[in-house]
A and B are shown apart, each in its own frame.
Chain A
Amino acid sequence: MSRSASSRLFYYRLSVASRTVAAVLGGYALSAASTAALAVTLPMPRAEAVVSATVFSFLVYSGAVIWAFATHSALRAWLGIAAPTVVCVAVALLGAPS
């Protein structure tokens, strides 16, 4: 195996590992943050908003995992999960009952 081939393989493995972390942990962070954000912003009674947000969260998680492995690069995988997570956390903190 040539040197460039073996370093390509190494980067490929690194990319898979990185995407896996993004999918499993990042995906959970995104679904947790989106649940919190929706729970405080959905225009319905509080309990309903919480249930709606929570039942939706597992689809968000699935979407995040699929995004992490489907997109072109590991960097995009991370950005695509981190950016909406930050937005959702901000919304959840702003909308939280005081």
Chain B
Amino acid sequence: MKNSLRQSMAWLHTWSGLLLGWLLLAMFVTGTSAYFREEISLWMEPELHASHATPETPELAWQALNRLAPDARAWDIRLPDARAPVVELGWQPDTPEAQNEGRRRGERAIMDAATGEILTPRATRGGDFLYRFHFELYGVPRLWARWLVCVATMFMLVAIISGVITHKKIFKDFFTFRPGKGQRSWLDAHNATAVLALPFHFMITYSGLLLFMVMLMPWGIDAAYNGDRRAFFDDAFPRATETTAQSQEAAPMTDIAPLLAQTRRAFDQPVTRIEVNRPNRAGATVSISTDREPEITGRRRGSAPTLVFQANSGALLETRPGTSEALPAAVRFYNLFANLHLARFADPAVRWLFFLSGLGGCAMVATGLLLWVAKRTQQLKQRQPGASLRLVNALNMASMTGLIGAMAFYFAANRLLPVELAQRESWEIRVFFISWLLSLAHALWRPNRRGWIEQLAGITVLWLSVPLLDMATTGSHLFSATAWQHGALAGFDLACLLLGALWGYALWRVARHGGGKKGTARQPRRSPGTATGAAS
């Protein structure tokens, strides 16, 4: 402490990093997967894979809702887009119970976009489980979990800033790589992955805190609004209020096709969403929206170009061009970070870039944790490692290979558990946690090089077998036309093969170079070379 700023920052960086590193790594890994949350969910619902959009899709959806819920209070049709090949039908039943529950989400059904058939996918939480885990964990009271995650995120922000101060020669360090030198190699790999994506790391950490700022830091609102949070939200993030016609008198609606064509022409974009208020009654309205150019400082939802029609006559009531609203600078700043964190604006190429940056983040946290062990292993000389070093090594193993293995088990369970199984979606999640716990038990039993080799071999086999399992159990595997029609499906299997190969490479490095002397930055997630010499 009485030392220089750099030394005290190095101390702070080491200890804040170690204490929350494991939780941060789990957040980074599952959060990185969340960039492809919808793609993962689609892969995990093979019953939806045959669906594909046709020119008749909107009319099929219209007919389906007329069949399912002709006198609902409202309809909501989400048409297929680049990420989802099915139609999502939503409706609010017009019963007193549904009204009383206020902003309830109403009923939902998935429709095959080509045939109009209602689909029932297997029960699964899909990519949403991994996505939710990255900010609310699982089975922990939601508020506690969010606070815990935010504390870890705050530590990360401090670790980033103190890390930058520690490395005043940050760019020189970045271009320094000394492979095969044990601890030095891990340090270089940690620096390289940290600096390479430093803007991303800062952005993802800071924006993560901003997304929860009302929970974390309500004191500004309380001071300026005397604790009236609703008034603050109405001021800062106003919502469009909907006007609702209240007529109950039945009246037929006009043909939807010309209205769709008119909207398409008006904005020169395909229609993505149809909302109907008081369908099949006098005074019904239909709002037809198209895609819009995403705006990075804009609001997260709404403001898509929309035409509003009188649904009985087909008369145009209102044109909402969906142009940018004049938002205050502070709100635009908040929106910018929120949109960056959620990658809402991202087209596929940018999404992959974010995914790779996320992997860089995983690698940064992982190499940092491995460096902690490598440094202390080197100081041991020939002595046996103590209990705390073995414990850290075991926790490293469970948080790296253990979590990666658990994810593969989660995907495999999706294909192997019987479709009719009761509480099926919970069983998928149980498989995930049971396999993670088993890997922890194995790591505590063998917190050494052999343990690493066994776990690496395990995850290599697991990840490589997921696409094979897909081939054995579905018709939308790598060698099917369906998988390539929806690139997400082929992409998922290919990503499994690539990651499996990566784990195999890490295994080869550890097994071949043994003795815990080697490591390299070329393995994005981690290669436990040095971390393992401890007790071998």
Contact = CB atoms under 8 A, between A and B. Distances in A.
A binds B: yes
Interface size class of A (residues with CB under 8 A): 35 or more
Contacts, number: 114
Interface of B: 1-2, 5, 8-9, 11-12, 154, 157-158, 161-162, 165, 206, 209-210, 213-214, 217, 219-226, 232, 235-236, 328-331, 333-334, 337
B210 A55 contact: yes
A33 B219 contact: yes
22 contacts: A36-B220, A40-B223, A44-B328, A48-B236, A48-B329, A49-B330, A50-B220, A50-B221, A50-B224, A50-B232, A51-B236, A51-B330, A52-B333, A55-B213, A55-B337, A58-B209, A62-B161, A66-B12, A66-B161, A66-B165, A69-B8, A70-B9
Contact of A16 (B1, B330, B334, B337): B1
A58 B157 contact: yes
Nearest to B208: A58
Given A40-B223, A55-B334, A69-B1, A32 B161 contact: no
A62 B12 CA distance: 12
A36 B219 contact: yes
B224 A97 contact: yes
Given A39-B220, A49-B224, A97-B226, A66 B328 contact: no
A31 B217 contact: yes
B1 A47 contact: no
Contacts of B8: 69-70
Contacts of A49: 220, 224, 330
A12 B11 CA distance: 13
A44 B329 CA distance: 10
B236 A58 contact: no
Given A36-B220, A39-B220, A50-B224, 5 more contacts: A47-B236, A50-B221, A55-B334, A70-B8, A70-B9
A92 B224 CA distance: 9
Contacts of A53: 220
A57 B330 CA distance: 13
Interface in A21-50: 31-33, 35-40, 44-50
B88 to A, nearest CB: 32
Contact of B328 (A15, A35, A40, A47): A47
A48 B330 contact: yes
Contacts of A54: 213-214, 217, 220-221
A62 B217 contact: no
Contacts of A47: 232, 235-236, 328, 331
A15 to B, nearest CB: 6
Interface of A: 12, 15-16, 19, 31-33, 35-40, 44-55, 57-58, 61-62, 65-66, 69-70, 72, 74, 92, 95-97
A1 B488 CA distance: 64
B228 to A, nearest CB: 10
A46 B225 contact: yes
A41 B5 CA distance: 33
Contacts of B214: 54
Contacts of A96: 223, 226
Contacts of B334: 51, 55
Contacts of B1: 12, 15-16, 19, 69, 72, 74
Contacts of A16: 1
Contacts of A57: 213, 217, 220
A23 B100 CA distance: 47
A62 B221 CA distance: 21
A64 to B, nearest CB: 10
Going nearest first, the 5 A-B pairs with the smallest beta carbon separation are: A39-B220, A47-B235, A36-B223, A47-B236, A51-B330
A38 B226 CA distance: 14
A80 B206 CA distance: 24
Contact of A52 (B162, B226, B330, B337): B330
A69 B12 contact: yes
A91 to B, nearest CB: 10
A15 B161 CA distance: 22
Contacts of B213: 54-55, 57-58
A92 B328 contact: no
Contacts of B165: 66
A11 to B, nearest CB: 10
A70 B165 CA distance: 11
A58 B220 contact: no
Of B214, B224, B235, chain A has the most CB atoms within 10 Å of the CB of: B224
Nearest to A35: B220
Contact of A39 (B9, B11, B210, B223): B223
A52 B329 CA distance: 9
A28 to B, nearest CB: 9
Contacts of B232: 47, 50
A58 B154 contact: yes
Contacts of B11: 69
Given A12-B1, A48-B328, A50-B236, A38 B220 contact: yes
A55 B333 CA distance: 9
Contact of A46 (B12, B158, B235, B333): B235
A74 B330 CA distance: 36
Contacts of A32: 217, 219
